[in-house]
Amino acid sequence: MTNRQPSPTLVILVSGPSSSGKTSLARALQQRLPVPAVLVEADRAFPNVPHTHPGWDSPAGDPGAVVLAFHESVATWARAGFHVILDGSLPYEDRDLRDACMGVFAPYDLRLVGVTCADPELTARERTRPEVRPVGWASRQARDIHDGMRYAALVDTSVRSSQECAEDVLAQLGLDAEPTTPPAPHHPVPSGPRPDRERP
């Protein structure tokens, strides 16, 4: 029996704490990637779910089903043969759901990109965001959001521009020439102390 090879369709999934520069990096990657790719920004593309509607209920009473369905919807682009960059979509604080969302892209050439940023810079960026988020949320996520992740590329956005970081990521992924180049070695991320896992 012939062994099936992974689809050549490329999926770059960018993961990191809030305010770390994921979206800016994803946009820069789209500009510099040697193949055309659609960019899906989770903050913009995630549907407005009617939580307050009296008749609303997630399938099987599972709120995670909505998050998983979103990733499955993004996978339709890859299934149609489009290369995809997905920004900031993975759920936080639910490892099983996170792994299930990544599993949706198993048939494709999935490259995980981790984004880190120094805590003082995270805090400064968080203060300038237009949307209201819990104070310290970015720093809290930064402590453990990378735990258990196996990245093909890892980049620190503390002082470098998104363009410089994008060039670094593409070099780590081996995508500055051909998108079918095997992934670079995985980068372990040291685990830090974890805060109590409570949603805001």
pLDDT tens per residue, range 28-37? 999 999 999 9
Q: CA–CA distance from 89 to each of 68, 98, 100, 167 (Å)? A: 10, 9, 12, 22
User: Between 22 and 132, whose confidence is greater?
Assistant: 22
Which amino acid does the sequence have at 101? C
pLDDT tens per residue, range 49-58? 777 777 776 6
Which amino acid does the sequence have at 42? A
Quick one: average pLDDT of 125-129? 85
C-alpha span between 115 and 153 (Å, rounded): 9
Residue 61 has a pLDDT of 60
Map out the domains of the chain as residue ranges. Answer: 10-48+68-173
C-alpha span between 153 and 83 (Å, rounded): 18
Q: In the structure, how many helices (H) and strands (E) does the chain have? A: 7, 5
pLDDT tens per residue, range 79-114? 999 999 999 889 888 999 999 999 999 999 999 999
Residue 163 has a pLDDT of 96
C-alpha span between 27 and 85 (Å, rounded): 9
Query: Is the separation of the CB atoms in 147 and 191 below 8 Å?
Result: yes
- State whether CATH 3.30.160.160 applies to domain 10-48+68-173: no
Query: Is the separation of the CB atoms in 165 and 122 below 8 Å?
Result: no
pLDDT tens per residue, range 3-45? 545 558 999 999 999 999 999 999 999 999 999 999 999 988 8
Residue 199 has a pLDDT of 36
In this predicted structure, the answer to whether residue 178 has a pLDDT above a threshold of 80 is no
Residue 197 has a pLDDT of 35
In this predicted structure, the answer to whether residue 127 has a pLDDT above a threshold of 70 is yes
C-alpha span between 152 and 3 (Å, rounded): 24
Residue 173 has a pLDDT of 96
User: Between 59 and 168, whose confidence is greater?
Assistant: 168
